[in-house]
Amino acid sequence: MDVIFYISAIVALLCTIMVVTRKHIVHAFLYLVVSLFAISVIFFVSGAPFVAALEVIVYAGAIMILFLFAIMMLNLGKDSVKKEKVLLTPGIWTLPTILCVVLLIELVYAFRSVRLAGSPVKIIDAAQVSNSLFGGYVLAVELTGMLLIAGIVGAYHIGKEKKREYHRYLQTNDSENE
């Protein structure tokens, strides 16, 4: 299992470096999703399948899609259509795909491996997680709820706009031409 951990860790690191060095934000997201998959594999082989599933569903699924949605909404106009055409040239998606395939192979190997059953890794399932979340850690869950209120109220205040104003970084060419 150590080998799987190291390979996934390298994939995660590589992807995260790619995230911060990409110029185009959608490409960065592509790598971020792969990085989250890699972390999810690490969780899986460390005996936390529930957290691994959550990582994929919540982070790679819900949050990333929301991000992508928000970005697509911000870039309306003819210009962005032109930009989107060159978004998916083969050079862009090759590396993430290869990395994803590596992770997939790892996952299949981990599933087929019989050693997981005999290894010292203790598997923690969903029931145990929810028992501690709503047992001893219930106050932490409540406090997290307050954290979400803070986030929402803050975002509501900062993001509220009466007049539509673009930040200078977000101004595209066609909005300048108008």
Partner 1 sequence: MVTVEALGYIMPEIVLAIGAVVVMLMIAVKRNAILTNVATILTFIIALFFLINQPQQDVNVTNLFFVDSIGRFLTGLILCSAIVITIYSLPYFKNQKELKEEYYILLILATLGSVCMGISNHFVSFVISLELLSVSLFALIGYLRHESTSIEAALKYLIMAAVATSFILFGFALIYTVTGKMDLQGLTSFSSGSNMNFIMLAGFAMTIVGFGFKMALTPFHLWTPDIYSAAPAPVAAFIATISKGAAFVFLLRLFYNLGGLQQESVWIAFAAIATSSMFIGNWLGLRQENLKRLIAYSSISHLGYLMVGFLAISQDGIRSSMFYLLAYFASILAIFGMITYFSGKKGELIKIEDYRGLFWSKPWLAAVFTVIMLSLAGIPLTAGFLGKFYILTAGMGTGKIFLLIVLAVSSTIGLFYYLRVVAVMLSREESSIGEHIGSNSFMLKLAMAVLFVLIIWLGVYPSSFLQMIGI
Residues that bind partner 1 (CB under 8 A): 135-140, 142-144, 146-147, 149-151, 153-158, 160
Of the pair 70, 149, the CB lying nearest partner 1 is at 149
The least distance separating partner 1 from the CB of residue 150, rounded to whole angstroms, comes to: 4
Of the pair 161, 176, the CB lying nearest partner 1 is at 161
Q: Report long-range pairs for 78-83 (Cβ below 8 Å, ≥24 apart).
A: 78/174, 79/172, 79/173, 79/174, 80/172
d(CA 175, CA 79): 10
The least distance separating partner 1 from the CB of residue 30, rounded to whole angstroms, comes to: 23
Q: Which residues of 24-46 are buried (b: 16+ CB within 10 A; e: fewer)?
A: eebbbbbbbbbbbbbbbbbbbbb
Of the pair 125, 142, the CB lying nearest partner 1 is at 142
Angle 23-64-70 from CA coordinates, rounded to 5°: 75
The least distance separating partner 1 from the CB of residue 63, rounded to whole angstroms, comes to: 16
Of the pair 108, 140, the CB lying nearest partner 1 is at 140
The least distance separating partner 1 from the CB of residue 161, rounded to whole angstroms, comes to: 10
The least distance separating partner 1 from the CB of residue 66, rounded to whole angstroms, comes to: 18
Backbone angles phi, psi at 170, to 5 degrees: -90, -10
Of the pair 108, 170, the CB lying nearest partner 1 is at 170
| Nearest residue to 13 (alpha-carbon basis) of 24, 25, 5, 1 | 5
